[in-house]
Structure 1
Amino acid sequence: MYYKTTKQFPVHWHSVLLIEVGFYKRLVASEQKRFQNRMMQFLGEVYIDTVGFEIEELDTIFIASSAVIPVFGFKDWHYPTVTGIIIYPDNFNEDFEFSDKSGPRRIAGAIGTGRLEKKMILSRKALHHGFKNSNDKRNTAIHEFVHLIDKMDDNVDGVPEVLMQNMNAIPWLKLVHDKMEAINKDKSDIRAYGGTKQAEFFAVASEYFFENPKLMKRKHPELYKMMAECFRVKF
Protein backbone atom coordinates (compact mmCIF):
# COMPACT_ATOMS: atom_id res chain seq x y z
CA MET A 1 0.00 0.00 0.00
CA TYR A 2 1.23 3.48 -0.88
CA TYR A 3 0.65 6.44 1.40
CA LYS A 4 1.68 10.07 1.05
CA THR A 5 0.09 13.22 2.36
CA THR A 6 0.37 16.96 2.02
CA LYS A 7 -2.81 17.57 3.99
CA GLN A 8 -3.16 19.74 7.06
CA PHE A 9 -2.63 18.23 10.48
CA PRO A 10 -5.75 16.23 11.49
CA VAL A 11 -7.08 17.84 14.67
CA HIS A 12 -7.79 14.52 16.38
CA TRP A 13 -4.12 13.51 16.10
CA HIS A 14 -3.36 15.93 18.93
CA SER A 15 -5.19 13.72 21.44
CA VAL A 16 -3.43 10.63 20.10
CA LEU A 17 -0.02 12.28 20.41
CA LEU A 18 -0.74 13.33 24.00
CA ILE A 19 -1.45 9.72 24.90
CA GLU A 20 1.15 7.92 22.77
CA VAL A 21 4.18 10.20 22.35
CA GLY A 22 5.86 11.33 25.56
CA PHE A 23 8.13 13.81 23.78
CA TYR A 24 5.10 15.64 22.38
CA LYS A 25 3.28 15.61 25.71
CA ARG A 26 6.20 17.41 27.38
CA LEU A 27 6.05 20.33 24.91
CA VAL A 28 4.23 23.60 25.57
CA ALA A 29 1.26 24.38 23.30
CA SER A 30 3.19 26.56 20.85
CA GLU A 31 5.88 23.90 20.44
CA GLN A 32 3.24 21.22 20.00
CA LYS A 33 1.91 23.25 17.09
CA ARG A 34 5.40 23.39 15.61
CA PHE A 35 5.73 19.62 16.09
CA GLN A 36 2.44 19.13 14.22
CA ASN A 37 3.64 21.25 11.32
CA ARG A 38 6.92 19.38 11.15
CA MET A 39 5.08 16.05 11.06
CA MET A 40 3.02 17.14 8.08
CA GLN A 41 6.05 18.58 6.32
CA PHE A 42 7.81 15.23 6.65
CA LEU A 43 4.78 13.27 5.48
CA GLY A 44 4.56 15.52 2.45
CA GLU A 45 8.16 14.73 1.48
CA VAL A 46 8.18 10.91 1.71
CA TYR A 47 5.95 8.00 0.85
CA ILE A 48 5.03 5.16 3.18
CA ASP A 49 4.60 1.69 1.73
CA THR A 50 3.32 -1.32 3.66
CA VAL A 51 3.87 -4.99 2.93
CA GLY A 52 1.20 -7.49 3.91
CA PHE A 53 -1.19 -5.17 5.75
CA GLU A 54 -3.20 -1.97 5.42
CA ILE A 55 -1.64 1.09 7.02
CA GLU A 56 -3.41 2.64 10.00
CA GLU A 57 -3.33 6.19 11.32
CA LEU A 58 -1.24 5.24 14.32
CA ASP A 59 1.46 3.79 12.04
CA THR A 60 1.69 7.14 10.27
CA ILE A 61 1.70 9.12 13.52
CA PHE A 62 4.51 7.01 14.95
CA ILE A 63 6.65 7.26 11.81
CA ALA A 64 6.25 11.03 11.52
CA SER A 65 6.92 11.49 15.24
CA SER A 66 10.07 9.36 14.98
CA ALA A 67 11.31 11.55 12.14
CA VAL A 68 10.62 14.82 13.95
CA ILE A 69 11.83 14.00 17.47
CA PRO A 70 15.60 13.78 16.76
CA VAL A 71 15.65 17.02 14.73
CA PHE A 72 13.04 19.06 16.57
CA GLY A 73 15.78 21.30 17.97
CA PHE A 74 16.59 22.45 14.44
CA LYS A 75 14.29 25.14 13.07
CA ASP A 76 14.52 24.02 9.46
CA TRP A 77 15.16 20.39 8.61
CA HIS A 78 14.71 18.04 5.68
CA TYR A 79 15.88 14.44 5.28
CA PRO A 80 17.78 14.28 1.98
CA THR A 81 18.81 10.69 2.71
CA VAL A 82 15.32 9.16 2.61
CA THR A 83 12.42 9.26 0.17
CA GLY A 84 10.34 6.32 1.36
CA ILE A 85 9.48 4.20 4.39
CA ILE A 86 8.59 0.53 3.93
CA ILE A 87 6.80 -1.11 6.85
CA TYR A 88 6.85 -4.87 7.32
CA PRO A 89 4.44 -6.51 9.76
CA ASP A 90 7.25 -8.00 11.88
CA ASN A 91 11.02 -8.45 12.02
CA PHE A 92 12.84 -9.59 8.90
CA ASN A 93 16.11 -11.19 7.81
CA GLU A 94 19.08 -9.77 5.90
CA ASP A 95 17.29 -10.46 2.60
CA PHE A 96 14.26 -8.45 3.81
CA GLU A 97 12.14 -11.59 4.10
CA PHE A 98 9.69 -12.02 6.96
CA SER A 99 7.65 -15.17 6.25
CA ASP A 100 7.69 -18.15 8.59
CA LYS A 101 9.96 -19.91 6.10
CA SER A 102 12.52 -17.08 6.05
CA GLY A 103 14.73 -18.44 8.81
CA PRO A 104 16.00 -16.23 11.66
CA ARG A 105 14.35 -12.80 11.55
CA ARG A 106 16.25 -10.57 13.94
CA ILE A 107 16.17 -7.22 12.15
CA ALA A 108 13.63 -4.62 13.33
CA GLY A 109 14.82 -1.71 11.21
CA ALA A 110 17.33 -0.93 8.48
CA ILE A 111 18.46 1.74 6.05
CA GLY A 112 18.40 0.38 2.53
CA THR A 113 21.31 0.29 0.12
CA GLY A 114 21.56 -0.55 -3.59
CA ARG A 115 18.06 -0.95 -5.00
CA LEU A 116 16.71 0.17 -1.63
CA GLU A 117 18.89 3.29 -1.42
CA LYS A 118 17.06 6.18 0.32
CA LYS A 119 14.53 3.73 1.76
CA MET A 120 14.00 2.86 5.40
CA ILE A 121 12.59 -0.55 6.27
CA LEU A 122 10.82 -0.93 9.62
CA SER A 123 9.06 -3.66 11.52
CA ARG A 124 5.58 -2.49 12.46
CA LYS A 125 5.78 -4.49 15.66
CA ALA A 126 9.01 -2.72 16.65
CA LEU A 127 7.64 0.67 15.57
CA HIS A 128 4.73 0.36 17.96
CA HIS A 129 6.79 -1.15 20.77
CA GLY A 130 9.10 1.87 20.67
CA PHE A 131 6.26 4.12 21.78
CA LYS A 132 4.51 1.69 24.12
CA ASN A 133 7.46 1.16 26.46
CA SER A 134 9.80 4.01 27.37
CA ASN A 135 11.43 2.22 30.29
CA ASP A 136 13.42 -0.10 28.02
CA LYS A 137 15.23 2.86 26.39
CA ARG A 138 14.50 1.45 22.93
CA ASN A 139 12.84 2.98 19.91
CA THR A 140 13.68 1.34 16.59
CA ALA A 141 12.31 4.09 14.36
CA ILE A 142 14.23 6.84 16.16
CA HIS A 143 17.32 4.62 15.92
CA GLU A 144 16.99 4.41 12.14
CA PHE A 145 16.28 8.12 11.68
CA VAL A 146 19.42 8.86 13.69
CA HIS A 147 21.36 6.67 11.24
CA LEU A 148 19.90 8.79 8.42
CA ILE A 149 21.13 11.93 10.16
CA ASP A 150 24.55 10.35 10.60
CA LYS A 151 24.54 9.46 6.89
CA MET A 152 24.15 13.07 5.75
CA ASP A 153 27.94 13.48 5.55
CA ASP A 154 28.08 10.25 3.47
CA ASN A 155 29.53 8.25 6.38
CA VAL A 156 27.45 6.34 8.92
CA ASP A 157 30.23 6.45 11.49
CA GLY A 158 28.75 7.76 14.72
CA VAL A 159 30.17 11.25 14.10
CA PRO A 160 27.24 13.18 12.57
CA GLU A 161 28.90 16.31 11.24
CA VAL A 162 25.56 18.04 10.67
CA LEU A 163 24.81 17.83 14.41
CA MET A 164 28.33 18.49 15.64
CA GLN A 165 29.17 21.72 13.83
CA ASN A 166 30.11 23.53 17.03
CA MET A 167 31.52 20.52 18.85
CA ASN A 168 34.98 19.03 18.99
CA ALA A 169 34.83 15.45 17.75
CA ILE A 170 37.85 14.32 19.80
CA PRO A 171 36.22 14.39 23.27
CA TRP A 172 33.06 12.91 21.72
CA LEU A 173 35.00 9.95 20.30
CA LYS A 174 36.85 9.42 23.57
CA LEU A 175 33.55 9.33 25.45
CA VAL A 176 32.06 6.97 22.85
CA HIS A 177 34.98 4.57 23.13
CA ASP A 178 34.89 4.67 26.95
CA LYS A 179 31.16 3.95 26.95
CA MET A 180 31.52 1.16 24.38
CA GLU A 181 34.24 -0.43 26.49
CA ALA A 182 31.96 -0.34 29.53
CA ILE A 183 29.16 -1.94 27.50
CA ASN A 184 31.43 -4.71 26.28
CA LYS A 185 32.63 -5.37 29.84
CA ASP A 186 28.98 -5.64 30.92
CA LYS A 187 29.34 -2.56 33.13
CA SER A 188 26.70 -0.35 31.54
CA ASP A 189 22.93 -0.10 31.30
CA ILE A 190 23.27 1.03 27.67
CA ARG A 191 22.15 -1.96 25.63
CA ALA A 192 24.75 -4.32 24.24
CA TYR A 193 24.19 -3.46 20.58
CA GLY A 194 25.71 -0.06 21.28
CA GLY A 195 29.03 -1.77 21.88
CA THR A 196 29.32 -3.21 18.37
CA LYS A 197 30.52 -0.08 16.54
CA GLN A 198 30.51 3.72 16.79
CA ALA A 199 27.52 4.24 14.53
CA GLU A 200 25.41 1.83 16.55
CA PHE A 201 26.51 3.39 19.81
CA PHE A 202 25.34 6.81 18.61
CA ALA A 203 21.95 5.44 17.50
CA VAL A 204 21.46 3.36 20.67
CA ALA A 205 22.47 6.29 22.90
CA SER A 206 20.03 8.49 21.00
CA GLU A 207 17.21 6.05 21.72
CA TYR A 208 18.13 6.20 25.40
CA PHE A 209 18.34 10.02 25.36
CA PHE A 210 14.91 10.52 23.82
CA GLU A 211 13.16 7.65 25.59
CA ASN A 212 14.43 8.17 29.14
CA PRO A 213 16.41 11.43 29.37
CA LYS A 214 16.13 11.75 33.16
CA LEU A 215 17.74 8.37 33.66
CA MET A 216 20.54 9.18 31.20
CA LYS A 217 21.16 12.50 32.93
CA ARG A 218 21.51 10.69 36.25
CA LYS A 219 23.54 7.69 35.09
CA HIS A 220 25.53 9.23 32.22
CA PRO A 221 25.71 13.00 32.86
CA GLU A 222 28.58 13.65 30.43
CA LEU A 223 26.91 11.66 27.66
CA TYR A 224 23.60 13.39 28.35
CA LYS A 225 25.28 16.80 28.09
CA MET A 226 26.86 15.94 24.75
CA MET A 227 23.66 14.45 23.35
CA ALA A 228 21.69 17.53 24.45
CA GLU A 229 24.24 19.74 22.71
CA CYS A 230 24.12 17.57 19.59
CA PHE A 231 20.35 17.53 19.26
CA ARG A 232 19.90 21.08 20.65
CA VAL A 233 17.32 19.98 23.16
CA LYS A 234 17.22 19.64 26.95
CA PHE A 235 14.66 17.86 29.07
Structure 2
Amino acid sequence: MSYFLSLAVLAAVVFGFYRYATADGRRRAAALAVGFPAAWGVLLAENVAFYQALGDAEKSRFEQRVQLFLADTHITGVQTEVDELTRLLVAAAAVIPTFGFPEWTYAHLGEVLVVPDAWVLGPDSTQEVQPLQGTLLGSVQRFQNQHYMRLSKASLLQGFANPQDRQNVGIHEFAHLLDEADGVIDGVPQVALPARLLGPWAAVVHREMEALRAGKSEINPYAGTNEAEFFAVVTEYFFEKPDQLQAHHPELYALLTELFHQRPGAHQGPSAGPRRWLHQLRGPGKFSRNSPCPCGSGKPYKNCHGPAAA
Protein backbone atom coordinates (compact mmCIF):
# COMPACT_ATOMS: atom_id res chain seq x y z
CA MET A 1 0.00 0.00 0.00
CA SER A 2 2.80 2.38 0.85
CA TYR A 3 4.34 1.66 -2.57
CA PHE A 4 1.21 2.78 -4.41
CA LEU A 5 0.87 5.75 -2.08
CA SER A 6 4.42 6.78 -2.88
CA LEU A 7 3.68 6.50 -6.60
CA ALA A 8 0.58 8.64 -6.18
CA VAL A 9 2.52 11.28 -4.26
CA LEU A 10 5.29 11.26 -6.86
CA ALA A 11 2.75 11.57 -9.68
CA ALA A 12 1.09 14.49 -7.92
CA VAL A 13 4.44 16.21 -7.47
CA VAL A 14 5.40 15.66 -11.10
CA PHE A 15 2.02 16.88 -12.31
CA GLY A 16 2.25 19.95 -10.08
CA PHE A 17 5.72 20.74 -11.38
CA TYR A 18 4.54 20.27 -14.94
CA ARG A 19 1.63 22.63 -14.39
CA TYR A 20 3.97 25.20 -12.85
CA ALA A 21 6.59 24.88 -15.59
CA THR A 22 4.05 25.19 -18.40
CA ALA A 23 1.87 27.88 -16.82
CA ASP A 24 3.33 30.72 -18.88
CA GLY A 25 2.95 28.87 -22.16
CA ARG A 26 -0.62 27.82 -21.40
CA ARG A 27 -1.57 31.34 -20.35
CA ARG A 28 -0.09 32.84 -23.53
CA ALA A 29 -1.75 30.23 -25.73
CA ALA A 30 -5.10 30.91 -24.06
CA ALA A 31 -4.69 34.65 -24.65
CA LEU A 32 -4.13 34.14 -28.39
CA ALA A 33 -6.91 31.55 -28.67
CA VAL A 34 -9.64 34.09 -27.93
CA GLY A 35 -8.63 36.30 -30.85
CA PHE A 36 -7.99 40.02 -30.82
CA PRO A 37 -11.08 41.97 -29.73
CA ALA A 38 -12.39 44.24 -32.48
CA ALA A 39 -12.81 47.06 -29.95
CA TRP A 40 -9.09 46.89 -29.17
CA GLY A 41 -8.27 47.24 -32.85
CA VAL A 42 -10.40 50.38 -33.02
CA LEU A 43 -8.66 51.88 -29.98
CA LEU A 44 -5.22 51.14 -31.41
CA ALA A 45 -6.18 52.59 -34.80
CA GLU A 46 -7.48 55.76 -33.16
CA ASN A 47 -4.64 56.29 -30.70
CA VAL A 48 -1.39 54.65 -31.86
CA ALA A 49 0.22 56.16 -34.96
CA PHE A 50 2.82 53.38 -35.14
CA TYR A 51 0.03 50.80 -35.47
CA GLN A 52 -1.81 52.91 -38.05
CA ALA A 53 1.26 52.90 -40.33
CA LEU A 54 1.58 49.09 -40.42
CA GLY A 55 0.32 46.84 -43.18
CA ASP A 56 -2.35 44.24 -42.45
CA ALA A 57 0.08 41.40 -41.73
CA GLU A 58 2.21 43.55 -39.43
CA LYS A 59 -0.88 44.87 -37.67
CA SER A 60 -1.86 41.28 -36.91
CA ARG A 61 1.60 40.59 -35.50
CA PHE A 62 1.45 43.78 -33.44
CA GLU A 63 -1.94 42.73 -32.05
CA GLN A 64 -0.60 39.33 -31.02
CA ARG A 65 2.35 40.98 -29.27
CA VAL A 66 -0.09 43.25 -27.40
CA GLN A 67 -2.17 40.24 -26.33
CA LEU A 68 0.90 38.38 -25.08
CA PHE A 69 2.20 41.39 -23.18
CA LEU A 70 -1.14 41.87 -21.45
CA ALA A 71 -1.29 38.14 -20.63
CA ASP A 72 2.19 38.31 -19.06
CA THR A 73 2.07 41.66 -17.26
CA HIS A 74 0.17 42.99 -14.27
CA ILE A 75 -0.94 46.61 -14.84
CA THR A 76 -2.24 48.24 -11.66
CA GLY A 77 -3.77 51.66 -11.11
CA VAL A 78 -2.60 53.68 -8.11
CA GLN A 79 -5.15 56.37 -7.24
CA THR A 80 -6.47 56.13 -10.79
CA GLU A 81 -8.51 53.80 -12.96
CA VAL A 82 -6.73 51.64 -15.51
CA ASP A 83 -9.26 51.43 -18.30
CA GLU A 84 -9.00 49.46 -21.54
CA LEU A 85 -7.31 52.30 -23.44
CA THR A 86 -4.67 52.77 -20.75
CA ARG A 87 -3.86 49.05 -20.74
CA LEU A 88 -3.55 49.04 -24.53
CA LEU A 89 -1.29 52.10 -24.54
CA VAL A 90 1.00 50.54 -21.95
CA ALA A 91 1.17 47.42 -24.11
CA ALA A 92 1.76 49.43 -27.30
CA ALA A 93 4.60 51.33 -25.62
CA ALA A 94 6.15 47.98 -24.69
CA VAL A 95 5.78 46.47 -28.16
CA ILE A 96 6.93 49.41 -30.28
CA PRO A 97 10.65 49.46 -29.39
CA THR A 98 10.90 45.63 -29.48
CA PHE A 99 8.74 45.03 -32.56
CA GLY A 100 11.85 44.13 -34.54
CA PHE A 101 12.51 41.24 -32.14
CA PRO A 102 9.72 38.70 -32.79
CA GLU A 103 10.39 36.56 -29.69
CA TRP A 104 11.04 39.40 -27.24
CA THR A 105 9.53 39.26 -23.76
CA TYR A 106 10.11 41.46 -20.73
CA ALA A 107 11.04 38.48 -18.60
CA HIS A 108 11.81 40.40 -15.41
CA LEU A 109 9.02 42.96 -15.48
CA GLY A 110 7.02 42.33 -12.31
CA GLU A 111 4.33 45.00 -12.62
CA VAL A 112 3.46 48.31 -14.24
CA LEU A 113 2.00 50.83 -11.80
CA VAL A 114 -0.05 53.62 -13.40
CA VAL A 115 -0.35 56.82 -11.35
CA PRO A 116 -2.57 59.82 -12.20
CA ASP A 117 0.09 62.43 -12.97
CA ALA A 118 3.73 63.38 -12.48
CA TRP A 119 5.18 62.89 -9.01
CA VAL A 120 8.14 63.82 -6.87
CA LEU A 121 10.16 61.62 -4.53
CA GLY A 122 10.32 62.07 -0.78
CA PRO A 123 13.50 62.47 1.31
CA ASP A 124 14.28 58.74 1.16
CA SER A 125 13.80 58.73 -2.64
CA THR A 126 11.17 56.03 -2.42
CA GLN A 127 7.91 57.59 -1.22
CA GLU A 128 5.75 59.88 -3.31
CA VAL A 129 4.77 63.23 -1.92
CA GLN A 130 1.00 63.82 -2.05
CA PRO A 131 -0.65 64.91 -4.19
CA LEU A 132 0.94 63.21 -7.19
CA GLN A 133 2.15 66.38 -8.84
CA GLY A 134 5.80 66.94 -9.66
CA THR A 135 8.51 66.29 -12.18
CA LEU A 136 8.77 62.51 -12.66
CA LEU A 137 6.68 61.02 -15.45
CA GLY A 138 8.03 57.49 -15.36
CA SER A 139 10.54 55.29 -13.60
CA VAL A 140 11.93 51.77 -13.51
CA GLN A 141 12.93 50.36 -10.14
CA ARG A 142 14.49 47.02 -9.32
CA PHE A 143 13.43 44.84 -6.40
CA GLN A 144 15.29 41.56 -6.05
CA ASN A 145 15.14 39.97 -9.52
CA GLN A 146 12.09 41.89 -10.74
CA HIS A 147 11.56 45.36 -12.18
CA TYR A 148 8.62 47.61 -11.42
CA MET A 149 7.65 50.42 -13.75
CA ARG A 150 5.70 53.53 -12.85
CA LEU A 151 4.00 55.60 -15.51
CA SER A 152 2.07 58.85 -15.34
CA LYS A 153 -1.30 58.16 -16.90
CA ALA A 154 -1.66 61.78 -18.00
CA SER A 155 1.73 61.73 -19.68
CA LEU A 156 1.14 58.32 -21.26
CA LEU A 157 -2.11 59.53 -22.84
CA GLN A 158 -0.49 62.78 -24.00
CA GLY A 159 2.44 60.94 -25.55
CA PHE A 160 0.16 58.95 -27.83
CA ALA A 161 -2.27 61.84 -28.44
CA ASN A 162 0.59 63.85 -29.99
CA PRO A 163 2.65 61.30 -31.92
CA GLN A 164 5.09 63.86 -33.31
CA ASP A 165 6.24 65.75 -30.23
CA ARG A 166 9.21 63.37 -29.75
CA GLN A 167 7.98 62.56 -26.25
CA ASN A 168 6.38 59.32 -25.11
CA VAL A 169 6.98 58.30 -21.51
CA GLY A 170 5.90 54.72 -22.17
CA ILE A 171 8.38 54.19 -24.99
CA HIS A 172 11.03 55.95 -22.87
CA GLU A 173 10.66 53.61 -19.90
CA PHE A 174 10.46 50.45 -21.98
CA ALA A 175 13.64 51.59 -23.76
CA HIS A 176 15.28 51.49 -20.32
CA LEU A 177 14.15 47.87 -19.92
CA LEU A 178 15.52 47.00 -23.36
CA ASP A 179 18.78 48.65 -22.32
CA GLU A 180 18.79 46.69 -19.06
CA ALA A 181 18.42 43.29 -20.75
CA ASP A 182 22.20 42.84 -20.58
CA GLY A 183 22.15 43.42 -16.82
CA VAL A 184 22.68 47.18 -16.50
CA ILE A 185 20.91 50.36 -17.64
CA ASP A 186 23.88 52.20 -19.13
CA GLY A 187 22.78 53.40 -22.56
CA VAL A 188 24.50 50.50 -24.34
CA PRO A 189 21.82 47.91 -25.18
CA GLN A 190 24.27 45.12 -25.97
CA VAL A 191 21.49 42.54 -26.40
CA ALA A 192 20.11 44.52 -29.34
CA LEU A 193 23.21 46.23 -30.75
CA PRO A 194 25.52 44.07 -32.90
CA ALA A 195 29.01 43.80 -31.37
CA ARG A 196 30.59 45.28 -34.50
CA LEU A 197 28.69 48.52 -33.87
CA LEU A 198 29.48 49.01 -30.18
CA GLY A 199 32.47 51.20 -31.03
CA PRO A 200 30.63 53.40 -33.55
CA TRP A 201 27.69 53.65 -31.13
CA ALA A 202 29.92 54.91 -28.31
CA ALA A 203 31.55 57.47 -30.63
CA VAL A 204 28.27 58.79 -31.99
CA VAL A 205 26.68 59.01 -28.52
CA HIS A 206 29.68 60.91 -27.20
CA ARG A 207 29.60 63.41 -30.06
CA GLU A 208 25.83 63.88 -29.91
CA MET A 209 25.90 64.44 -26.13
CA GLU A 210 28.69 66.97 -26.47
CA ALA A 211 26.68 68.90 -29.05
CA LEU A 212 23.56 68.67 -26.90
CA ARG A 213 25.31 69.96 -23.78
CA ALA A 214 26.78 72.79 -25.81
CA GLY A 215 23.29 73.85 -26.88
CA LYS A 216 23.90 72.81 -30.51
CA SER A 217 21.23 70.12 -30.78
CA GLU A 218 17.43 70.11 -30.90
CA ILE A 219 17.29 66.79 -29.03
CA ASN A 220 15.50 67.06 -25.68
CA PRO A 221 18.09 68.43 -23.20
CA TYR A 222 17.17 65.67 -20.74
CA ALA A 223 19.14 63.35 -23.01
CA GLY A 224 22.29 65.04 -21.73
CA THR A 225 21.74 63.66 -18.21
CA ASN A 226 23.72 60.49 -18.91
CA GLU A 227 24.11 57.79 -21.57
CA ALA A 228 21.12 55.80 -20.29
CA GLU A 229 18.77 58.77 -20.59
CA PHE A 230 20.28 59.66 -23.96
CA PHE A 231 19.32 56.23 -25.30
CA ALA A 232 15.77 56.44 -23.91
CA VAL A 233 15.22 59.98 -25.24
CA VAL A 234 16.51 59.26 -28.76
CA THR A 235 14.35 56.12 -28.79
CA GLU A 236 11.32 58.38 -28.33
CA TYR A 237 12.64 60.63 -31.11
CA PHE A 238 13.30 57.64 -33.41
CA PHE A 239 9.74 56.35 -33.20
CA GLU A 240 7.92 59.69 -33.13
CA LYS A 241 9.89 61.79 -35.64
CA PRO A 242 12.05 59.35 -37.62
CA ASP A 243 12.28 61.52 -40.74
CA GLN A 244 13.45 64.52 -38.73
CA LEU A 245 15.97 62.40 -36.84
CA GLN A 246 17.33 61.06 -40.12
CA ALA A 247 17.62 64.57 -41.54
CA HIS A 248 19.37 66.13 -38.53
CA HIS A 249 21.26 63.14 -37.11
CA PRO A 250 21.70 60.66 -39.98
CA GLU A 251 24.52 58.69 -38.36
CA LEU A 252 22.56 58.23 -35.13
CA TYR A 253 19.46 57.33 -37.12
CA ALA A 254 21.40 54.72 -39.11
CA LEU A 255 22.68 53.07 -35.96
CA LEU A 256 19.20 53.02 -34.43
CA THR A 257 17.77 51.27 -37.50
CA GLU A 258 20.28 48.49 -36.92
CA LEU A 259 19.65 48.44 -33.18
CA PHE A 260 15.86 48.21 -33.41
CA HIS A 261 15.70 46.27 -36.70
CA GLN A 262 13.11 48.83 -37.78
CA ARG A 263 12.66 51.88 -39.97
CA PRO A 264 9.46 53.57 -38.72
CA GLY A 265 7.68 56.39 -40.49
CA ALA A 266 7.25 57.34 -44.11
CA HIS A 267 10.40 55.51 -45.20
CA GLN A 268 9.74 52.25 -43.37
CA GLY A 269 11.50 49.30 -44.94
CA PRO A 270 15.01 48.56 -46.17
CA SER A 271 17.11 51.46 -47.38
CA ALA A 272 20.59 51.60 -48.85
CA GLY A 273 21.31 55.00 -47.34
CA PRO A 274 21.71 54.15 -43.64
CA ARG A 275 23.24 50.76 -44.42
CA ARG A 276 25.81 52.34 -46.73
CA TRP A 277 26.82 54.69 -43.94
CA LEU A 278 27.03 51.83 -41.47
CA HIS A 279 29.24 49.92 -43.90
CA GLN A 280 31.59 52.91 -43.95
CA LEU A 281 31.58 53.00 -40.16
CA ARG A 282 32.65 49.37 -39.86
CA GLY A 283 36.15 49.87 -41.18
CA PRO A 284 38.69 52.63 -40.49
CA GLY A 285 39.72 54.94 -43.26
CA LYS A 286 36.61 54.44 -45.38
CA PHE A 287 34.93 57.68 -44.45
CA SER A 288 36.45 61.13 -44.14
CA ARG A 289 35.35 64.62 -43.17
CA ASN A 290 35.46 65.61 -46.86
CA SER A 291 33.24 62.74 -48.02
CA PRO A 292 29.73 63.64 -49.20
CA CYS A 293 27.39 63.63 -46.21
CA PRO A 294 25.27 60.47 -46.21
CA CYS A 295 22.15 62.51 -45.44
CA GLY A 296 22.03 63.39 -49.14
CA SER A 297 22.52 67.14 -48.81
CA GLY A 298 25.45 67.18 -51.25
CA LYS A 299 27.63 69.02 -48.72
CA PRO A 300 30.89 67.64 -47.32
CA TYR A 301 30.26 65.70 -44.12
CA LYS A 302 32.37 68.20 -42.10
CA ASN A 303 30.09 71.07 -43.15
CA CYS A 304 26.81 69.22 -42.73
CA HIS A 305 26.53 66.65 -39.96
CA GLY A 306 30.14 66.32 -38.92
CA PRO A 307 31.39 67.37 -35.46
CA ALA A 308 32.33 70.84 -36.67
CA ALA A 309 28.84 71.43 -38.00
CA ALA A 310 27.08 70.15 -34.89
| Greater radius of gyration (CA) | 2
Superposition map of 1:1-235 within 5 A: 6=31, 8-94=35-121, 95-97=126-128, 99-100=130-131, 105-114=134-143, 117-234=146-263, 235=268
Please tell me whether the aligned partners of residues 87 and 121 of structure 1 are also in contact (alpha carbons under 8 angstroms): yes
For the 8 Å contact 1:45–1:83, the answer to whether it is kept is no
SS in 1 for 2:120: coil
Q: Is the 8 A contact 1:88 1:122 kept in 2?
A: yes
Deviations 1:174-216 (A, max 9, x none): 1001111111111111100101100100000000000111111
State the TM-score, normalized to the length of structure 1: 0.92
Instruction: Check the 8 A contact 1:93/1:107 in 2, yes or no.
Output: yes
1:149 shift after superposition: 0.7
Matched pairs, number: 229
Q: CA RMSD in A?
A: 1.7
- Shift of the alpha carbon at 1:99? 2.1
Q: Please tell me the residue identity of whatever aligns with 1:132.
A: A
Q: Which residue identity does 2:223 align to in structure 1?
A: G
Supply the distance in 2 between the matched residues of 1:74 and 1:63 (Cα, whole angstroms). Answer: 18
8 Å contact kept, 2:80–2:114: no
Q: What whole-Å deviation, never above 9, does each CA across 1:140-171 have from its counterpart, x for those lacking one?
A: 01000010011111111110011113542111
Instruction: Output the TM-score relative to the length of structure 2.
Output: 0.71
Q: Distance in 1 between matches of 2:201 and 2:194?
A: 12
Question: Could you tell me whether the CA contact under 8 Å between 1:51 and 1:89 is conserved in 2?
Answer: yes
- Higher RCO by CA contacts (8 Å cutoff, separation 6 or greater): 1
Extract unaligned runs of 5+ from structure 1. none
2:102 and 2:61 mapped to 1: Cα distance? 9
1:115 Cα deviation (Å)?
7.1
Give the letter for the 2:187 counterpart: G
